[in-house]
């Protein structure tokens, strides 16, 4: 079975999304999203009709935004996330987001063509928080191959 890599990360905002404190973050969203969509290995990202995911209701509570994407493989999402312009943007995250005490990102393999929703993503993140990295949900540090999956 062919697999793709789903990726979730969540962030608790330090201020309302339309506040002056988050203006630089919001101004960069379209640019970063466009870069992701053109990145090698990118497959899909969660977005509403406006092209953003910041207004999508999630099970994570008020003030928490999500980034939910699917990639061809771990190398592709890792290269996008930690190199180039996105990495520059990530270096500023402490200006915009509350530091989270528990895991805020998870990766997991999905059948090619599957597009996870925020509830599936929440279950995966919760699994990672409770059990640590397993084939059900893992992190870049403990990235697992799709070969670790049993059917």
In this prediction the pTM is: 0.91
Rounded-to-integer distance, Cα 136 and Cα 64, Å:
23
What are the residues whose beta carbons fall under 8 Å from the beta carbon of 104, sequence distance 6 or more?
A: 9, 10, 11, 125
End-to-end Cα distance, the chain: 8
Q: What does the pLDDT average to over 86-90?
A: 83
For 7-28, b/e burial (b = at least 16 CB within 10 A) is bbbbbbbbeeeeeeebeebeeb
* pLDDT over 60 at 150, yes or no: no
* pLDDT over 50 at 134, yes or no: yes
Domains of the chain as residue ranges with CATH: 3-148 (3.30.70.100)
Rounded-to-integer distance, Cα 108 and Cα 14, Å:
28
In tens, the pLDDT along 50-72 reads 888 998 999 999 999 999 999 99
In tens, the pLDDT along 35-48 reads 999 999 999 999 99
């Amino acid at each position: 079975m062919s697999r793709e890599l789903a990726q979730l990360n969540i962030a608790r905002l330090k201020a309302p999304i339309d506040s002056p404190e988050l203006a630089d973050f919001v101004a960069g969203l379209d640019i970063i999203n466009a870069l992701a969509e053109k990145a090698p290995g990118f497959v899909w990202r969660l977005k509403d009709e406006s092209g953003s995911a910041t207004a999508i209701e999630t099970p994570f509570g008020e003030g928490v935004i999500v980034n939910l994407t699917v990639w061809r493989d771990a190398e592709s999402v890792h290269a996008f996330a930690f190199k180039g312009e996105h990495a520059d943007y990530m270096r500023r995250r402490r200006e915009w987001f509350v530091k989270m005490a528990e895991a805020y990102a998870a990766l997991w393999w999905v059948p090619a063509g599957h597009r996870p929703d925020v509830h599936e993503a929440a279950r995966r993140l919760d699994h990672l928080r409770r059990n640590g990295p397993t084939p059900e949900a893992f992190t870049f540090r403990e990235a697992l191959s799709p070969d670790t999956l049993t059917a």
